[in-house]
Structure formats: structure tokens, C-alpha cells
Structure 1
């Protein structure tokens, strides 16, 4: 695959990067300490209810894990939050006043909601530093970013993120030469340089070594507080290592919510997932 082909893949319609989007002025109101409100959300595909009257509330600065079998509605929920999929009914608010259902994908990205897909997608022919440089949030748009020199504040932000994701020593290395886990961290870093308020992370440890999984757990837990992080993951040991609160989805609705111990001992969860990895 050529660099141009790779660029086209990264810029595909299902991947929205804040640095490609117009500025969307909005004030995020988290005075009630809740950053995400999902109420009565339903989505059907050809008669199949992917989401069924789902209610979810996520606190500002929280690290929340979403678990559930395939088809439980996890991906569809993230698709609706990020504007990729339209719902049939319900409400999704970012803070008290921002109605996400009235915003486009680029607008939602610019509001401060970043999404990382399961497969890491980075500019492999560019250095680690260049990947982060391309992702710096700037109101003047992508062409300004490609032409202009970085400001001191932007360089400081990249240095901070490099330290955070553990790739400072690899800053000049081509992204394609990184390990699978390092590519995952780099893509998280590409979101972090834009300083998002909410991060949606899909199966971050799939295919990782035990050491990379442990480092990823440290990274995600360190982000909570300054950012709100929602993690979708099937690795239950990993979820246990990072989760403060877990939401279990089943057939498009919330089945149970609480600590990992609470959901694993929940009678409804046991009945539905008896014999599974949950």
C-alpha cells in the first residue's frame, strides 16, 4: 500500500479527526458533574433493534467500561454518540446543553469527542512526532497546519503527550516500525494532542502482549480525571484492572451497572452470560 493509499484509508469517512474539521464554538456545561446523557436511545436496522430504549449517564472525568456480548449494542452506541449513525428515538447530550443528535460528525469531533477504533490507524510513512504534529488542533484548519511552524505551546503539548504515551524515545521513528501496542498508544496520542474532553476507546488491548496490556492499563487510568474515558473491551482481566464502574449491555439495553465484582455477581448478568467470559 502506498503512502497515498494509506492516507486515503486514514481519511476515510468513518474516521473523523478534529484537525480536519471547522471550529465549532460551544460551551460545555458539566455543572451537574455529568458529561454524557443518553436517554431512551433506540436504533433499528432492518427490524433488528441494535439499541432498545437505552439509558446511560457518564460523569465528568470518569473511566467507564462497556462490556457485553457481540451484538449487545456497544459499537452502535458509540456510532450514535459520534454522529456516524442516526437514531430512531431518544436523546444524547454532551453536558447539559449540547444536543449531539443535531451535530454532524466533524462538529462532534471539534466539540471535544475523540474516538479510537480497534485497529490502529496511523501515518506509517511518517515519524511518531509528525503523526502528532498533523493531529494538533488548530482553528485555521488542515492547510494552515501543513504550512505553519509549530508554536512553542504546540511543541510543549506534543512533548507532554509523547511522555504520556511512552513514546518520547521513539519520536523520530517511523510509525510503521512501531509494535502493535505502540501504534495503539500513538493513535491515542493523536487524539490527546487535541485535548479532547471525552475519549471513546474500542478494544485497546486486542492483540497486545501482556506487557503492552499492562502499560495500556496505566495509560488509560492516568487519563481519567483530566479526560472522560469510555472503554469497550472483551478482555475481562483488563477491564478488572482499570474499571471503577462497569456497564453491561444486552440486546441494546443496560442490563447491569456497578463495580466489576457487582456486575459479575448480578443475578441477571449470571443468567444471561452463564458460561461466557463475563
Structure 2
């Protein structure tokens, strides 16, 4: 099944929306991401406490919870920035994330977008995507390598998916906050990740930008697995299929938005704030 971008004509579909095969990534018998019995302590503070979480292939999952619930630390573990004290983290059935470095995890097919956009402001939108797509990140090969036809096609497709095709020659620094967020998502897409981790994508956005971001993220689900960490409950309601609530480093509740909204424990520790 091909996915249609909400920013494009309905009859247009994208050839690169399905990421290429990754060596040893096996999701034939279960979820794409396994986090089991994870524990992390910082100076005696238990940031992650027996955390177990599974993300299905092609799923859009929302992660919510109060400040200090462990959301950022969880993403740090998945991307190799933090090593847990105990537990397991698997990408598919064969890739042990705890044995890989941050670059190796990115190469395996996990992309992460931080809350604050990190685009190259003095380069054009197209150049930002070009820098993201090139596999050899050493300075000289990156500066002088020509794009292949396939790479150029991927950039053009990403531009239409994120709705910035008419701004491809504009400096990234002149974009609105929301447009910079979309550009950074595009910079991940051209690298063709299988799992996207998106941290507070609508912070600081206008209502119109939030609506377009919701359309963008929901359009990606199905061909990619997408994990969204967000505090804005209206936004979460607009995209949520399944919601996981973290509290004190572990899963407090999980289910549909209606399920977690009506869970008395969630109301007491988070929604009732």
C-alpha cells in the first residue's frame, strides 16, 4: 500500500515511502521495537524503572506523561545516547540496540527529531535535504559529491511530502518555526528510517501549523513506525491511535485516548494538573 501525502494531490504516491531493507532487521514475528525491563539511574534517581514497551511495525504511538516521567531518557536509550543499567532494547528480532553506537543505530534505520529544530539556517531547504541524504558525512566527499538521480528524486519527493516544494531555494533560516520542524522531518525521511522518534513536534506552532503537522505524521504511519512524545493533549487527540502514559520511569497506562483519559491514575498524575 502506498501512502498519500496530505500536502499533495490525492492521486500522487511516493516510491520511497517504504524504507529499503536493512541488514538483519527482522519484524516478521513481532514488533519493530522491544524495550524490556529497562532500568536507568542518575546519581541515585531512578529515571527509568522496569520499563517495558513494544512498538508495532507501521504503528503511530503517542507517549505522554508529566515532566520527569522518563520520556527523554527512553528515547536516549533507543538511540544509543544512554546505556541502561539493566534490561533489553531490540530493533526487530535480531538487532540488539545496546550493542550499537549512536551512528550505528541511525544507520540501522532509527531517526530522531528533537524538540528544537536543528536545520542549517544558512543553507537552502534543498541543500539541507541534500546534506542529510548523503551517506558519506566527511566534509570533502560531502561538498564535492554529485547527487545521484535516485537521491535527487528522494529529495523532490520529501519536499512534496513536507509541503516545502515551493520553498526549496529559500534559506532555511527564513522559514517559520513550523516549516523548520517539517524540514527536519524531511531531513530524516530522505535517510529512509524504519522508526521515527519525534519529540514535541508542535511546541511553539500556530494552530494551522499544528493541523498540518498532524496530517504529516499520520500520513507517515503504516509504512514507517512513528513514536511521538508530546504534551499538547489536543494534538495528541488528533493523531492518537494508541497512547502510552509514562510516570516515574515506567508505563502507568496504555490504550486508546479515551482509555487513558478516563483512567483515574492518569488523571491524578498528569491530566488533572
After TM superposition, the runs of 4+ consecutive aligned structure 1 residues lying more than 6 A away are none
The Cα shift of 1:225 comes to: 1.0
Partner of 1:223: 220
- Unaligned 5+ residue runs, structure 2? 1-21
Question: Which whole-Å CA distance do the structure 2 matches of 1:59 and 1:137 have between them?
Answer: 29
Distance 1:275 1:264 in 2: 10
Contact 1:137 1:193 in 2 (8 A): no
What is the aligned partner in structure 2 of residue 28 from structure 1?
25
- Aligned equivalent of 2:70: 73
- State whether residues 51 and 251 of structure 2, in contact with CA within 8 Å, keep that contact through their aligned partners in structure 1: yes
Residue 141 of structure 1, CA deviation: 5.8
Superposed counterparts of 1:111-130, under 5 Å: 111-130=108-127
Q: What's 1:180 paired with?
A: 177
Report the CA distance between 1:32 and its aligned residue. 1.9
- Work out the CA distance in 2 between the residues paired with 1:194 and 1:82: 15
For residues 61-86 of structure 1, the C-alpha deviation after alignment (integer angstroms, 9 at most, x for no partner) is: 10000000000000000001000011
TM-score (norm 1): 0.88
Are the structure 2 counterparts of residues 274 and 168 from structure 1 closer, same or farther at C-alpha, using a change threshold of 3 Å? closer
The Cα shift of 1:267 comes to 2.6
Looking at structure 2, the residues matched to 239 and 195 of structure 1 have their Cα atoms a distance apart, in angstroms, of 25
Q: Aligned runs of 1:1-278 on 2, under 5 Å?
A: 26-138=23-135, 143-273=140-270, 275-276=272-273
Is the deviation greater in 250-259 or in 266-275? 266-275
Equivalent residues of 2:261, 2:271 under 8 A apart: no
Comparing 210-219 with 134-143, greater Cα deviation is found at 134-143
Over aligned residues, Cα RMSD in angstroms?
A: 1.3
1:266 Cα deviation after fit: 1.4
Structure 1 residue 268: deviation in Å?
2.1
Q: Which runs of 5+ in 1 are unaligned?
A: 1-24
Aligned residues between the structures: 252
